[in-house]
Every structure is written in C-alpha cells, then in structure tokens.
Structure 1
C-alpha cells in the first residue's frame, strides 16, 4: 500500500504544480497584457521561462516547508494526508479558475493539510504533531500580512512615480512604463517560480521522508526539476479567466500604475524568497498591488463589489480546502486500515 500511495502523491503533486502554473501565470502577465505592454502569447512564454528558472533557483523555502510540517505522521497515514491535501488544493484551484477568481494555491494546500490531519485524528489514526510556534509565525503571518503590505506599498509608490514623471509627455510616460512592464513580467515570474515551485518540491520530499526514501538532509535534483518543468508547462497554457479579472474587473490601471504594481510585487516575492526565506502568495501580492496602485488615482476606479468577492474567496480558501481535505481523507481511510 505504501509504494502505491507514494506514487499517487508524486503524480498528484505533479498535477498540482501544473495547475499552480496554469492558475497563477495570470499574476505575472495580467497587468502587462491589460496595458498592451506585451502581446498575450509573448507574455505567457516569458512568464513560463522565468517561472522555470525561478523554480530551479533555490531550495530554502522547500526546506522551510519540510521543517514546518515535520509533525506529519510517517507511513501510510502521512502519505494519505499529503495526497488528499494536494487533491483538495488542486480541486480548489480548478474551481476558482473556472469562476475567474484569483486565489492562493499556498493557502489551499495548507488548508488541505490541516483538514486531512484533523480527519486522521478522527479515524483514530496518528495525529499530526503541533509545529513549533516559530514555524507557525513565519508561515502564517507573512501570508496574512502580505496583501495589506502590497496594497499600501503600491498605493504609496504611485506618489514618487508621478512626481518623477511630472514633466514628461503622456506618450513618453506610457512608452517607458510599458518597457518597464515587459521586464517586470519576467522578474515577477521569476519570484513566483521561486515561491511556487518549492511548494511541490516540499510535498514530494515529505512523502519521500515519510517512506524512508530520503533523509531530509538534501533535496534530490529530480524532484526540483520535476516540479519546475510541470510549473512551467502549466504556465504555458495560461488561465485567461483570472487574467481578465486581474486586468479588467478589479480596477482600471494605466501603464505607470501597472509597472508600479509589478515592481512592488516583484520586490516582495524576491526579497521574501531569497533574503528572508518566507513564503508569500504571489496571487494575493499581485492582486493587492494592482488594486493599491489603481486606487491612487484622481477618480474612482476600484470596482469594490468585485474586490469584496475576491476577498471573501481568500477568507474562505482555508476552511473550504480543509473541509474538502477532511472528506477525502475519510473516504480514503478504509483503504488504509485494510
């Protein structure tokens, strides 16, 4: 049973990586496509390439996630928790893509793990041991605070950008900012690949550790390459429903505000991933930065009902995936006892 579950976890993790790229490529390309800085096809190709490079760039976040989830029970129960959590997160990604709503794949995965862990306890299986407080704080706080920080930074960054460009003609301002957006599309995709690729790497590594196939000291190269390739492959197909929401339905933005949002989002992902080694949701960072930059205009441009609906989805992600993860684990639990 254990080898079968291990194979299922690896396949499901690969599917999650593909859906992660498919779902989240919108974060990299939405602003640039909206302001016509890049053609859609070029933007997606650029984002996929840099997401691949980002996923191969480092492993510190994967090691962090493995440490945060070290209370996962070994053997079949631990594998079942991972499998049902990944399937729950993937299902949520498909649902939110279909609805055209940006949501956090990281929150979805965490919710699935929490729900499956609780269900394991209910079936008298091994319980997940509590993670150390330091890990919880480093995991939860950045994910909760990042949208607020991204909104405020993008809103405030419009002031110096407007002042610096105050004497330039509108045509020159738009041309220069579109060029900046073309560059920042790749930079943001690099940061998102750095963040998202390591989620899949951590899931597979946890499964390998749980079966004794890895010691957790190092990360097998094939795991990182596997996650990076599937993340990039998903990005190539591009979830345009969410791109339309980010670029058109939340707020009206011009090239200057688009480049400001992309600059803030890129800086946050790279600093958190490379310097601070903290997980961030690229979706929440970019959506919040776009709304923040767009809100700093002399006319009302934010479509508040749509923004509120997105916020409700963000708040509901963890409870929904926790419930789904628990249901899936309970459905799978008879096989674990056979």
Structure 2
C-alpha cells in the first residue's frame, strides 16, 4: 500500500504543479496582453519559457525548503496526509479558476496539509510537525503583509514614473512602457517559477522521505524535471479566466502603470525567493501591485465589487482547503490502517 499511496501523491503533486502554472499564468500574461505589449500567444510562450527556467533553478532550493517547511510522519500516514492536502488544493484551484478568481496555490496547499494533519490526529494517527509555523509564516503574515507592501509600493512608484515622463508625448511613453513591460513580464514569470517550483518539488521530496525511498540528502533529477515540465505545461495552457479578471475586470490599466506593477512585483518576488527565502504569493503580490498602480489615477478606476470578491476568496482559501482535506484524510485513513 505504501507504493500505491506514493504513486497517488506523485499524481496529485503533478496535478498541483500543472494547475499552479495554469492558474498563475495570469500573473505574467494578463497585463502585457491588456496593454498590448505582447500578443496572447507570444505572452504565453514567453511566460512558459521563463517559468521553466525559474522552476528548474528552484531545484537548488528544494532540499532546504523540505527540511525547514514541515515534517510528516513516516509511512502511509504521512503519504495520506500529503495526498489529502494536495487533492484539496487541486479541487479548490479548479473552482477558483472556474470563478476567475486569482488566489494563492501555496495558501491552499498549507491549509490542506493543516486540515489533513488534524484529521490524522483525530483518528489516532500522527500530527504534522511545523504546520503551525507554516500557517503563521506562509499564510497569515504573507496574507497581511505582502499585499499591503505590494499595493503601497506600486502606488507610490507611479508618481516618479509619471513625473519622469511628464514632457514625453503619450504615444512615446506607451511605446517605451510596452517594451519595458515585456522584460518585467519575463521577470515575473521567472520569479514565479522560483517561488512555486520549490513548493511542488518539496512535496515530492517529503513523499520520498515518508515512503522510505530517500533520506532527503539529495535532490532527484526526476523531481526537478517533473516539476518544471508540468508547471510549464500549465502555463502554456493559460488560465484565461483569471487573466481576464486581472487584466480587465479589476481596474483600468495603461502601459506605464502596467510596467510599474510588474517591475515592482518581480523585485518583491525575486528578493523573497533568493535573498530572504520567504514564500511570497505570486498571485497576491501581482494582483495587489496592479491595484496599487491602477489606483493612482485622477479618476475612479477600481471595480470594488470584484476586488472585495477576490479578497474574500483569499481569506477563505486556507480555511476551505483545510476543511476539505480534513474530510479526505478521514476517508483515506482506514486504507492506511489508522
């Protein structure tokens, strides 16, 4: 049964990685398409390329993440917790995509693992060590801090950007902003691969450790390739429902503000992934940077109803995935002998 549960985790982790790329393609695709910096086809190909590079390089960080993230119980108990957490995150991800809501895959996964861990204890199994720290440092604090920093930073950066362009004809400003936004979109896609590639890879490493197939001392090549390939495949599929929300429904956006939002987002994500090793949500960062840059205009530009709906889903994400994973773990635990 251990082999069966390990295979189940690999399938669900692959689905999670694919869905991650599919849903989060909007972070690097929506604005360039909205401002006509790139055509939809070129934007998706561009995002997929840099997502793959970022995810492949994230393999160097996966072992560190797997050691400091959470500790699962060994054997089938740990594997069922992973399977329940991953499946709940996948189900929620599909639902939010269908609704066109940008939400954090990381928050969904951490919430799912927390709920599955509680269910494991309820049926006499082992708990998930470190999940309380994960909820605090990967969900609660990022949910409170990163959107606020992204919104405020992008809002403030619009002033020097517009001041620098005050004597330049609008058509020249738009043309230059579109070219610069192409580079910023690639940086966002690269940062997304770095950030989210490590989480998908860490799940597979934790599954290898729980099943006794690895001691966690080395990074299997197949894990890095599988994660990067599926994340890229998901990006190529393109989650256009969410891209439409970010690019068209949230706020009015011009090329200059689109460039500011993506440039600032990419800096935050790269500093978080490389410099500080913080799990910053790409979705939350880019979405709130878009709102911040777009809000700094001389006329009402925000669709408040859509913004409130998105914020509500952000708060609900860890709670809903925890509840779904709790039920799934209760269902799987008899198969694991609990």
Normalised TM-score (structure 2)? 0.96
Post-superposition Cα deviations, 1:241-275, rounded to whole Å, max 9, x if no partner, equal 00000001110010000000000111111111111
Distance 1:136 1:19, change over 3 A: closer
Q: Which moved more, 1:64-73 or 1:248-257?
A: 64-73
> Could you tell me which residue of structure 2 aligns to residue 19 of structure 1?
19
After TM superposition, the structure 1 = structure 2 runs for residues 242-257 of structure 1, keeping only pairs within 5 Å, are 242-257=242-257
**Does 2:189 align with 1:196?**
no
Residue segments in structure 1 that go unaligned for 5+ positions in a row = none
User: For the Cα contact (< 8 Å) 1:106–1:199, is it kept in 2?
Assistant: yes
Q: 2:272 matched to which residue of 1?
A: 272
CA distance in 2, matches of 1:260, 1:48: 22
SS at match of 1:252: coil
**Aligned residue in 1 for 2:180:** 180
> Match for residue 63 of structure 1?
63
Q: Tell me the distance in 2 between the aligned counterparts of 1:60 and 1:146.
A: 24
Residue equivalent to 2:144: 144
SS in 1 for 2:251: coil
Alignment of 1:224-235 (within 5 A): 224-235=224-235
Aligned to 2:105: 105
Report what 1:53 is aligned to: 53
Aligned partner of 1:126 in structure 2 is 126
- Counterpart in 2 of 1:38? 38
Q: Which moved more, 1:67-76 or 1:226-235?
A: 67-76
Corresponding pairs, count: 337
Unaligned runs of 5+ in 2: none
Q: Could you report, residue by residue, the CA deviation over 1:188-221 in whole angstroms, capped at 9, with x for unpaired residues? A: 1000011111111000000001122111122112
Counterpart Cα distance in 1 of 2:160 and 2:275: 25
Q: What TM-score do you get using the length of structure 1 for normalisation?
A: 0.96
Matched, 1:299 2:299: yes
Q: In the superposition, relative to structure 1, how do residues 137 and 336 fare at CA in structure 2: closer, same or farther (>3 Å)? A: closer
CA distance in 1, matches of 2:239, 2:293: 23
Change (3 A) 1:108 1:131: closer
Q: Does structure 2 retain, via aligned residues, the 8 Å contact 1:115–1:323?
A: yes
Partner of 1:164: 164
